[in-house]
A and B are shown apart, each in its own frame.
Chain A
């Protein structure tokens, strides 16, 4: 069996190709096989029988951006741990203490965002509770959607 870098990754490429062909084939086949009969109701977004108001791509809560940013920070920090973890048996105590410095910095960052209330999903968006924007329409302020509606009591910062 050829044992070089390319040979290790070639089956992976083949797998991607076969999976892609399978997935693409399914989409094409179901488009060809199924019947197509259109009506007005079918052509509008599904909202449990209500007539949709406005576009779906409204602004949404800034929390989602914050989580995405935190993810990038902490995931990169996790990836930094991987090579160290694999080599720890050779690095021994020296490697351990070195990494403790790094993990200490990560922990300081974690407790900073924790204290700032970034990790709290309820309580912080006090601005949107009871403001005129809330009564304007069904899909305006993200704080008004039932998903993240904040309990007013116990809100911090």
Chain B
């Protein structure tokens, strides 16, 4: 990085990057909901949203407006401060974690090289793990402060599930760290550039770790088949039963934003990030990596919905056993084998 930029410009560029990234993330969140309703609709042999706009494309906007005008109820039996804090905490953390995700290489504007990433921190992976694991506070606080039985049961289930899969998730990343030798997400992607045989999932032999990561990530984001915290047939809506209006929508948005983060992280860690064929004029060459990256993210979002439309829900004891008795030993075995291979080679 060259030192020809003053602090003022640096702050301005950072704010501009954030103001581009956050609306894009919110847009992806809104249209993931649309995509999910549409795809699940087709999987179940019906149309999904089709009335609001062409192909129901304006449905997310209509839903958002509707939720704003719904009655915003703060029931008298809740713990007011924590009840308000929980959705704010959830959404803030969900929107923050994309700050360290690199979506592409570098662009040069007026001689200044700017990374396509809000900030390139050298411990980005640790930061993202820290932020996402703090998400459990939003869920736990929401359930406890609501003072409703469904909420409490849902939040207890959710917290136990999230912390259980956190361990497997953390261990599945060790293999990637061994291969790339850095915590920086940009460094991890740059290590995988140049053909798909360089990706950690193939060339690194991390396909088992990828499977563990995917399972744990689905559980962390409370998605089917691990959606027991909000199993609607038994718990109504889980930890956000007592939330209405925009406060409910904020939990919803944070869940989908977390899905997007997890999809981004999966692309970065295992599928080579933005690596892909580059061609054409310089502008296209700068933008193609972003396209390849978003293509991977879209694939993961599609996979989420596909799995949701296909699989039934686990039982709670199966869920816990799957994490502790299957994924955890498997992840430790993966760490041992990967480290042995790397240590022998180096």
Contact = CB atoms under 8 A, between A and B. Distances in A.
Contacts of A18: 15, 18-19, 22, 95
Nearest to A31: B72
B306 interface: no
A49 to B, nearest CB: 11
B170 A147 contact: no
A99 B171 CA distance: 14
Interface stretch (B192-200, B234-242, B272-280): B234-242
B118 A15 contact: yes
B202 interface: no
B167 to A, nearest CB: 4
Contacts of A121: 316-317, 320-321
Interface stretch (B2-10, B31-39, B289-297): B2-10
B174 interface: yes
A16 to B, nearest CB: 5
A44 B42 CA distance: 38
A93 B183 CA distance: 22
Interface in A77-94: 78-79, 81-82, 85-93
A114 interface: yes
Interface residues of A, number: 79
Contacts of A48: 236
Most A CB within 10 A of own CB, among B2, B22, B147, B167: B167
Contacts of B93: 19
Contacts of A146: 234
B88 A23 contact: yes
Contact of A67 (B146, B164, B242): B164
Given A19-B95, A56-B151, 8 more contacts: A12-B118, A23-B92, A26-B249, A37-B71, A48-B236, A85-B175, A86-B183, A147-B153
Interface of B: 1-5, 7, 10-11, 13-15, 17-19, 22, 67-73, 75-77, 84, 87-88, 91-93, 95-96, 99-100, 112-114, 118-122, 126-127, 144, 146-153, 156-157, 159-160, 163-164, 166-167, 170-171, 174-175, 177-178, 181-183, 234, 236, 241-242, 245-247, 249-250, 316-317, 320-321, 324-325, 328-329, 332, 335-336, 339-340, 342-344, 346
Interface of A: 1-3, 7-12, 14-16, 18-20, 22-24, 26-27, 29-31, 33-37, 42-48, 52, 55-57, 60, 63-64, 67-68, 70-71, 74-75, 78-79, 81-82, 85-93, 95-96, 99-100, 103, 106-107, 110, 114, 119-122, 139, 145-148
